[in-house]
Chain A
Amino acid sequence: MKCKAIVIGGSAGSLNAIIEILKEIDNDIKIPIIILVHLSDDYDNELPKLLDKYVKGIIKEAEDKEEIKENIIYIAPSMYHLQIEDNLKFSLLYSEKVNFSRPSIDVLFETAAESYNGELLGILLTGANSDGAKGLKRIEELGGYVIVQEAITAYSAIMPEAAIKILKKPKILNLKKIGEYLNGLMK
C-alpha cells in the first residue's frame, strides 16, 4: 500500500505518548503527520510549541484551507473540528461536538480516509472515550493501514480497546514500536 499521510489521534494521556513516538523519528519527515489530541476546551493550542523540541523538521498548527505538505507535522487546533478535503487541504469546522469531542478524531480520520482514498496510515493511542474507533474502521475499510496502541501500555485503555473491538486486523504496538515503524516509513 502507498502511504500518503499519517493521522494520529489520542485523548487522556496521549501527550506523553505523542512525545514517545516523535522521539523515535530521526529520519526527515517525508510523509505528512497529522496529530489530533483532545485537550481541555481552551482556545489556544500550545502543542506545536511544546512538541517542537522533539521534532527535527517543521511542526505547526493546521490552518483552514491550508494545503498539506509532505515534510510537515501538523497539529489540530483546539475548539474546531479538523477535516481533510478532497483537494488535500485542511478545513476547520465550528459545529457541534462529535463523541463529546471537538476536535473529534472520527471526523479527522473519516475525512482523511476518504480524501486519501485509503492510502494512509491511522494510529489511535491512549484515551478514555471511544472517539476514533469508527474513523479508524473507515480507514481500514478503504484499504488503509491501522495501528492501535497496545492497551496494557496505554494510560487509559478505553480508546484502544474500543477500536480493537471493531477492527478486522489492526496492528497492535507499544509506543516505541510505533515510533520505530514511522521512522522506517520515512526512509
Chain B
Amino acid sequence: MDEKELLETEEIELELFLQAVYLKYGYDFKSYTKKHIKRRIKRRVKLDNASSISKIIEKLLYSEEYFKNIILKDLSINTTEMFRYPEFFKMIREQVIPVLRTYPSVKIWHAGVSTGEEIFSMAILLKEEGLLNKANIYATDFNIDVLEVAKKGIYSIEKVKKWTKNYQEAGGKKSFAEYYTAKYDSVIFDSSLIKNVTFLEHNLVEDGSFIEANLIICRNVFIYFNNELQGKVLKLFLDSLIKGGFLGIGSKESIKYNESKEKFNEISFKNRIYQKKYLE
C-alpha cells in the first residue's frame, strides 16, 4: 500500500473508531475537529505497538477498562494553567465583577475545568473582591479523573513561577504565595477556596442545561468542536445564562460563525467576554 492509499484507509479506520466509541460507550467525538483526534489515536497505536487503528478498535470494544482508563484519557485534553491569559482575568475583575456585586448571590459555571487551575484562579479573584462567600461555583468536565485532581488542589511546584507572574499580571492584590503551602516538590492550595465549588460530571456534547448562571467560563474547549457542535454548545450556554449573564471563552475562540451570536453583546473582543442581551 502506498502512502496515499494508507492515508485513505486510515481515514476509514478513524470513522469506524469514532463510531465504535459512540455505539459502545455513548461518548460522541464525531463532531470534534478530526485532526486532533487522529493525532491522539495514532499516538496510542504507536504506544500500544499496534499495527493499525483497527487493532485498537477491537481492544476498546472488548475491554471497558481499556476504554475508560486509556482511550478516554487520550481523547481528553488537560493542558491548562492558573490565570491563563492574565488579561482575561483582569477584564473579569474590572468589567464583570462590578455587575456580579449587584446580585445577592451569584452562580458561576466553569465548563471543561480539567485539573482545576481555572477554578482556583476564579476563587482567588472572587475572594479578593469579597464575593467568594456569596458565589456558588459549578465545575464540570466529562473526565471524572481530572475532577479528582481539581478537588485535591495539589500541583507541581515547577509551575508556580509562571502562575505567580500570571497572577500579578491579572491584577492580583496580594502575594500569590498566600494561597498555597509548598511541600517537597508540590504545592497545595488552600481548600477553603473551593468550599463553595460543586464538582460534576457533565459532557457538553450530550448533556443539557442544569443551571441559570450569572457567569459561564469555558476556555479552550469549544475550539475542539466543529462549527455545528460549537453552535449547539453556544446555544446550551445561552440557555444556561440569566439575562445579562456573562460568557468568557478562550482567546482564540470565536462565536462569529454561530447563530446565537446575535443574542450576545461583546464586552471585550480581545478577551472574548460576552454578555447575554437583556432583550430577546
Contact = CB atoms under 8 A, between A and B. Distances in A.
B181 interface: no
B250 interface: yes
Contacts of A63: 252, 254
A85 B226 CA distance: 10
A153 interface: no
Interface string B27-50: 000000111100100000000000
A143 B35 contact: no
B33 A85 contact: yes
A64 B253 contact: yes
A91 B33 contact: yes
A53 to B, nearest CB: 23
Contacts of B251: 43
B250 A94 contact: yes
Interface stretch (A31-39, A76-84, A175-183): A76-84
Nearest to A67: B257
B220 A94 contact: yes
A2 to B, nearest CB: 14
Contacts of A43: 85, 87, 251
A83 B35 contact: yes
Contacts of A95: 36, 77, 79
B4 interface: yes
Interface string B108-144: 0000000000000000000000000000000000000
Interface string B8-44: 0000000000000000000000000111100100000
A182 B270 CA distance: 34
Interface string A14-47: 0000000000000000000000000000010000
B39 A92 contact: no
A7 interface: no
Interface in B234-280: 250-254, 257
Contact of B254 (A64, A80, A96, A142): A64
A70 interface: no
B2 to A, nearest CB: 9
Given A65-B254, A85-B35, A111-B35, A93 B223 contact: yes
B179 interface: no
B4 A91 contact: no
Contacts of A157: none
A141 B43 CA distance: 19
Nearest to B42: A110
Interface string A89-113: 0011111100000000001001100
A9 interface: no
Nearest to A84: B35
Contacts of B200: none
B142 to A, nearest CB: 16
B46 to A, nearest CB: 13
A114 interface: yes
Nearest to B87: A43
29 contacts: A63-B254, A64-B223, A65-B226, A65-B227, A65-B230, A65-B254, A77-B252, A79-B252, A80-B252, A83-B36, A84-B35, A85-B35, A86-B34, A86-B35, A92-B223, A92-B252, A93-B77, A93-B224, A94-B250, A95-B36, A95-B77, A107-B39, A110-B39, A111-B35, A114-B7, A115-B35, A141-B3, A142-B3, A142-B4
